């Protein structure tokens, strides 16, 4: 797995090139107003695919940082099939949030799978079932964090470069999601450090600690 450190995410090159080509075409036909609008579109597209460096904070060994930029939509306790309780933290990522995804803690990748699908709005009745998703399980010893990224209304699909048994470091880039929701599942005995409505930054904001 390569760690893309270029200032613009390489996954966005095609989209940026397409918007630049549109702007040049409009310039050639002297459509001044449309050229101006396309220039703004180029700037917005570059902003969407920005790939900033992040200063990973010095945190204690059992810390868990956010996997995505956005706002905490919900925090709830759920019981899974085998009777184990989990905290589920949902992070909503918008078009203008940084799209880069980052590893929550130093560990190995136990599972990773991307299921291609629709790009429906989150308000659509079947969005949770039909939309493109990427499922990842990060684990180290008895410490496990499960992450599900669900895409919403984005032309570019989820990019996930993780491989099973890959050793990864906290805050390391592993993929991209332009718009959607990330559900982070933590053990029920974890200590949660965020609240609903809080703005979070991938690799920097502390979500909680393993107990």
Burial of 52 per CB tally in 10 Å (0-12, 13-18, 19+): exposed
Q: What's the whole-model pTM score? A: 0.90
| Domain positions in the chain | 10-48, 63-209
Q: Please give the pLDDT value at position 2.
A: 57
In the block, tokens 């974890």 appear at 190
| pLDDT value, residue 140 | 87
pLDDT in tens, the chain (211 residues): 556 778 999 988 999 999 999 999 999 999 999 999 999 999 999 999 999 988 877 777 889 999 999 999 999 988 876 667 889 999 999 988 999 999 999 999 999 999 998 888 877 787 788 899 999 999 988 899 999 999 998 878 999 999 998 899 999 999 999 999 999 999 988 999 999 999 999 999 999 999 8
Using alpha carbons only, how large is the chain's radius of gyration in Å?
18
Could you give the CA distance from residue 184 to residue 207 in angstroms, rounded to a whole number? Answer: 9
pLDDT at 128: 80
């Amino acid at each position: 797995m390569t760690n893309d450190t270029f200032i613009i995410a390489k996954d966005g090159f095609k989209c940026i090139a397409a918007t630049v080509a549109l702007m040049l075409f409009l310039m050639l036909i002297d459509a001044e107003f449309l050229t101006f609008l396309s220039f703004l579109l180029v700037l917005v597209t570059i902003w969407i695919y920005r790939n900033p460096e992040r200063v990973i904070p010095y945190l204690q060994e059992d810390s868990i940082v956010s996997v995505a930029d956005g706002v905490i939509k919900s925090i709830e306790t759920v019981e899974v099939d085998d009777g184990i309780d989990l905290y589920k933290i949902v992070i909503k990522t918008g078009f203008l949030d940084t799209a880069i995804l980052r590893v929550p803690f130093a560990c190995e990748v136990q599972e990773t799978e991307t299921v291609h699908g629709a790009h429906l709005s989150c308000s659509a009745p079947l969005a949770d079932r039909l939309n493109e998703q990427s499922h990842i399980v990060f684990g180290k010893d008895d410490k496990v964090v499960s992450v599900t990224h669900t895409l919403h209304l984005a032309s570019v699909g989820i990019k996930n470069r993780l491989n099973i048994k890959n050793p990864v470091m906290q805050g390391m880039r592993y993929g991209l999601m332009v718009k959607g929701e990330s559900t982070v599942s933590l053990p029920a005995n974890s200590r949660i450090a965020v609240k609903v409505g809080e703005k979070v930054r991938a690799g920097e904001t502390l979500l909680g600690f393993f107990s």
